[in-house]
């Protein structure tokens, strides 16, 4: 790796997006390919091992989220209300479909090979990336803010603290619609890699870990984080980003306080707290072999328009034990 | 000062000279305050464990125990709870807490250092304080007027601390010269000092095993509430009234200052360490939060005393939606 290394924060990419970094995602196949979405209307593909900006796509509106399907194809959504696909080795995008309002989030469901979008138009869209066909749009109780898929289970987090859980093989009706365990707006939701539940973060510095199984709701819990006490005032920051480690099942959280924590959800322990980044953490992603954590340090507009540190992407290389839980639960 | 008495001592932390209700709480305290890795926040059980951890995990040499009193930062002494505390310090601590016997030495220094005028002034101050504080909490007594028999308990506790040196451990406590105890105003002999052990609980805990002060010295100055024995307020949840002129819990400074060299991000650690520090001095011993630190790392409890400021508090509209309204992000077809 070349260029600047900021002490303890990890290695900083040299050509970061020039406006808010809305999302970053590592390739599911290549441990050093990183895709980013930005408010500067660009999608960028980096090779982080050589600190190289491989490819750029210019959109007409800010890009809010991106995802990979395989190592060669990516998908983007944003304020232009369209779902687009990209061949990562070529310029140009093709439109797959659109929503009535901005599309906030996009995920790839590996099991079914479908793309799933969540929009502020209160719908979840399901798409077939091979034929560019819409497989249906499903009305939700509120604007969709975040969603994630594990196996056949889809979790959709919405405004009004609604959370709906679907089986993606039967999107016509939800398995469950529940109220978030958190009392404030959900910012991010991510599924446990073991398929048993999901974690969500709210604007009120709190993370909840819930299980899908309605019968075992006692197992769910929530805890405070991303807070800071200054002069007796408890500053509570939003939890903007969650990312699960691909092999250990531990997860990282990033907040508007600029802090990244690594949690062991099984043992209910915090494993790591990294030194504060220059500004809000807007997105986090582990790479496919779990050796790197990408951190987007990018002001998230929590306090409106204001001067803020430049947007930057840090790549932390993780020690073998860094995100490993002390004891794994009995499988 | 026999062995028997020592057994009644509360567990205390050698590193910061703070007392605890329960040894378990002491263990947690030490893990959180003193044996925490400054790099990753991992909590170890002993100083040695921390050194090994820092060395092996972070390849760093760890030379000092954080938040320790000056002179006690050494990582060489293996201490776990009360185990491993050097005998001399154990003795010194006991003396300090019980305040028995050793008083003469202190008195020698302080009293002889006072001019008659100063004594007068302090007497005045003392009287005033006594009026303000009908329970006649003990603190200042030793200075203006050596306390008399019926007033044994805490008084020794206080002045022993103030007069640290006589107990043969000036170093660790970094005692300032006696001067500070006699401010020109003659007002209040105690100024909170860094390095001073927590005042609140320990001193109140003192009476039970504090050997009654020797009945020596001149008669007590007039006190409104005659010889009210101290025990009526054994677990006094507030600092002794006479201390009021100062920042009430002298403990606080002692605890918040040492972290100077401590972990920069310790503030964000979920609750527990703060809880201990904050509630310690104000809550009566029996409930000084011994249970809370059990699972420090993901604790969901926290003293809800601080006012809360949510940096982003709009529960209906997300930041992205607001940001999207900015004209520079406006989207137009074509």
Minimal Cβ distance to A104: which of B307, B309, B320: B320
Preferred mutation among B311, B329, B334 to probe A, highest tally of A CBs within 10 A: B311
What pLDDT is stored for residue B131 in this prediction?
64
Write out chain A residues lying below 8 Å of B326, CB-based: 305
Residues A275, B314: C-beta atoms closer than 8 Å: no
Using an 8 Å CB-CB cutoff, list chain B residues near A268: 295, 297-298
* Inter-chain CB proximity B295 and A275 less than 8 Å: no
Answer yes or no: do B320 and A22 touch at CB < 8 A.
yes
Question: Nearest residue on chain A to B296, judged by CA atoms?
Answer: A269
Q: What's the pLDDT tens digit per position in A251-274?
A: 999 999 999 999 999 889 899 899
pLDDT at B50: 87
What is the model's pTM?
Answer: 0.58
B interface with A, Cβ–Cβ < 8 A, is 40-41, 57, 264-265, 267-271, 274, 295, 297-300, 302, 306-324, 326, 329, 331-332
pLDDT digits (tens, 9 = 90+) for A10-36: 999 999 999 999 999 999 999 999 999
Mean pLDDT, 10 residues at a time, over chain B (334 residues)?
56 86 88 86 86 85 80 81 83 75 45 65 74 49 43 41 40 42 43 42 40 45 44 42 42 37 36 33 34 38 64 92 92 71
Q: Which of B265, B307, B321 sits opposite A276 (nearest CB)?
A: B265
Q: Looking at CA atoms only, how far is residue B42 from chain A in angstroms?
A: 7
Q: Which of B57, B267, B295 sits opposite A229 (nearest CB)?
A: B267
Question: Beta partners for A294?
Answer: A285, A315
- Cα–Cα nearest to B332, from A143, A85, A21, A59: A59
For residues A330 and A316, is the Cβ–Cβ distance under 8 A?
no
- Residue numbers in A near B299 (CB within 8 A): 223
Could B309 and A268 be called an inter-chain contact, meaning their C-beta atoms sit closer than 8 Å? no
Distance CA B86, CA B105 (A): 23
| A187 interaction partners in chain B (CB closer than 8 Å) | 318
Nearest C-alpha of chain A: how many angstroms from B78?
24
Beta carbons within 8 Å of B171's beta carbon, 6+ residues apart: B70, B71
- Residue A243: beta bridge partners? A252
The mean pLDDT of A219-224, rounded to a whole number, is: 92
Query: Do B271 and A224 count as a contact with CB atoms less than 8 A apart?
Result: yes
pLDDT at position B273 is 34
CB contact under 8 A, A145 and B309: no
Nearest CA in chain A to B315: A185
CB pair distance less than 8 Å for A304 and B322: yes
Q: A30 near A298, Cβ under 8 Å?
A: no
- Mutation site, A270, A308, A325, interface B, largest B CB count within 10 A: A270
Q: How far is A272 from chain B (nearest CA, A)?
A: 6
Interface with B, mutate which of A19, A23, A61, A62 (most B CBs under 10 A): A62
> Can you read off the two tokens belonging to residue B263?
């972990």
Q: Tell if the CB–CB gap between B40 and A269 is shorter than 8 Å.
A: no
Contact A257, A302 (CB under 8 A): no
Selected residue with higher pLDDT from B124 and A86: A86
Alpha helices in chain B (DSSP H): 3-7, 23-29, 47-58, 87-98, 103-113, 116-132, 141-144, 154-162, 170-173, 200-209, 251-256, 272-279, 319-324
Mean pLDDT, all residues of chain A: 93
Q: How many CB pairs under 8 A join A and B?
A: 124
Of A104, A185, A236, the CB nearest to B308: A236
Query: In chain B, what is the straight-line distance between the N-terminal and C-terminal CA atoms, in Å?
Result: 90
Residue B99: what pLDDT? 64
Strand (E) or helix (H) holding A53: strand A52-58
Whether residue A226 is predicted with pLDDT greater than 90 in this model: the reply is yes
pLDDT of A72 higher than 90: yes
Taking contacts as CB-CB distances below 8 angstroms, the residues of chain A near B306 are 229, 232-234
With an 8 Å Cβ cutoff, are A301 and B268 in contact?
Answer: no
Ramachandran area for residue A232 (φ above 0: left; ψ -120 to 50: alpha; else beta): left
Q: For B72, how many CA atoms within 13 A lie in the half-sphere containing its CB?
A: 21
Decide if A232 and B41 are in contact by the 8 Å CB cutoff. Answer: no
| B322 vs B317: CA distance, rounded Å | 7
Q: Which two tokens stand for residue B218?
A: 């001149």
- The lowest-confidence range among A132-146, A218-232, B136-150 is B136-150
- Put simply, the answer to whether B326 touches A305 (Cβ < 8 Å) is yes
Q: DSSP state, A275?
A: P
Q: How far is CA A38 from CA A44, A59, A66, A236, in A?
A: 8, 10, 10, 25
Cβ-based contacts of B271 with chain A (< 8 Å):
224
Instruction: Choose the closest CB to B268 out of A61, A145, A259.
Output: A259
Instruction: Decide if A39 and B313 are in contact by the 8 Å CB cutoff.
Output: no
- Walk across the sheet containing A133-139 and list its strands: A103-109, A114-119, A123-128, A133-139
Compute the nearest-CA separation of A322 from chain B (Å).
9
**B318 with A234: Cβ contact below 8 A:** no
């Amino acid at each position: 790796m070349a260029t600047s290394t900021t002490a303890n924060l990890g290695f900083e990419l040299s050509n970061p997006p020039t406006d808010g970094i809305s999302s970053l995602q590592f390739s599911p196949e290549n441990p050093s390919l990183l895709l980013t979405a930005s408010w500067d209307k660009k999608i960028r593909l980096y090779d982080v091992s050589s600190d190289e900006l491989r490819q750029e796509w210019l959109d007409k509106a800010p890009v809010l989220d991106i995802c990979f399907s395989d190592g060669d194809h990516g998908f983007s959504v944003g304020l232009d209300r369209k779902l687009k696909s990209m061949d990562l080795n070529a310029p140009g995008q093709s439109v797959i479909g659109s929503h009535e309002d901005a599309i906030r989030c996009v995920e790839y469901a590996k099991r079914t090979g479908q793309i799933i979008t969540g929009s502020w138009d209160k719908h979840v869209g399901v798409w077939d990336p091979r034929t560019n066909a819409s497989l249906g749009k499903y009305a939700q109780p509120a604007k969709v803010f975040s969603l994630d898929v594990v196996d056949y289970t889809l979790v959709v987090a919405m405004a009004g603290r609604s959370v709906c859980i679907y089986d993606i093989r039967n999107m016509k009706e939800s398995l469950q619609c529940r109220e978030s365990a958190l009392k404030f707006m959900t910012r991010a939701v991510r599924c446990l890699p073991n398929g048993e539940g999901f974690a969500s973060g709210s604007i009120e510095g709190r993370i909840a870990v819930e299980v899908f199984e309605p019968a075992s709701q006692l197992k769910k819990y929530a805890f405070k984080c991303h807070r800071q006490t200054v002069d007796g005032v408890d500053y509570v920051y939003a939890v903007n980003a969650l990312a699960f480690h691909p092999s250990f099942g531990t997860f990282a959280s990033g907040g508007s306080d600029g802090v990244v924590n690594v949690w062991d959800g099984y043992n209910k322990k915090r494993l790591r707290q990294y030194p504060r980044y220059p500004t809000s953490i807007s997105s986090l992603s582990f790479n496919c072999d779990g050796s790197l954590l990408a951190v987007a340090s990018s002001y998230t507009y929590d306090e409106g328009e204001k001067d803020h540190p430049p947007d930057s992407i840090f790549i932390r290389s993780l020690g073998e034990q860094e995100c490993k839980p002390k004891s794994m639960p009995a499988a | 000062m026999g062995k028997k008495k020592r057994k009644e001592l509360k567990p205390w932390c050698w590193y910061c000279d703070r007392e605890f209700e329960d040894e378990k709480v002491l263990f947690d305290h030490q893990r959180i305050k003193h044996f925490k890795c400054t790099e990753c926040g991992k909590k170890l059980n002993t100083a040695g464990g921390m050194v090994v951890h820092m060395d092996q995990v972070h390849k760093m040499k760890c030379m000092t125990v954080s938040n320790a009193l000056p002179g006690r930062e050494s990582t060489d002494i293996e201490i776990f709870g009360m185990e491993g505390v050097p005998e001399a310090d154990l003795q010194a601590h006991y003396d300090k807490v019980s305040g028995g016997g050793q008083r003469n030495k202190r008195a020698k220094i302080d009293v002889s250092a006072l001019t008659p005028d100063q004594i007068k002034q302090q007497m005045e101050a003392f009287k005033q304080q006594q009026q303000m504080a009908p329970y006649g909490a003990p603190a200042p007594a030793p200075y203006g007027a050596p306390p008399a028999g019926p007033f044994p308990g805490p008084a020794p506790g206080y002045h022993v601390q103030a007069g640290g040196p006589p107990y043969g451990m000036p170093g660790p406590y970094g005692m300032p010269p006696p001067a500070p105890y006699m401010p020109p105003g003659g007002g209040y002999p105690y100024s909170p000092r860094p390095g001073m052990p927590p005042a609140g609980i320990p001193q109140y805990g003192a009476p039970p095993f504090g050997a009654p002060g020797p009945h020596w010295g001149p008669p007590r100055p007039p006190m409104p509430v005659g010889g009210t024995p101290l025990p009526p307020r054994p677990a006094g949840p507030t600092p002794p009234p006479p201390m009021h002129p100062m920042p009430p819990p002298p403990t606080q400074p002692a605890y918040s200052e040492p972290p100077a060299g401590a972990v920069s991000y310790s503030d964000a650690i979920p609750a527990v360490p703060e809880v201990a520090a904050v509630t310690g001095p104000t809550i009566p011993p029996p409930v000084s939060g011994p249970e809370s630190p059990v699972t420090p790392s993901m604790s969901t409890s926290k003293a809800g005393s601080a006012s809360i400021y949510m940096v982003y508090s709009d529960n209906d509209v997300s930041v992205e939606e607001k940001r999207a309204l900015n004209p520079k992000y406006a989207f137009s077809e074509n």
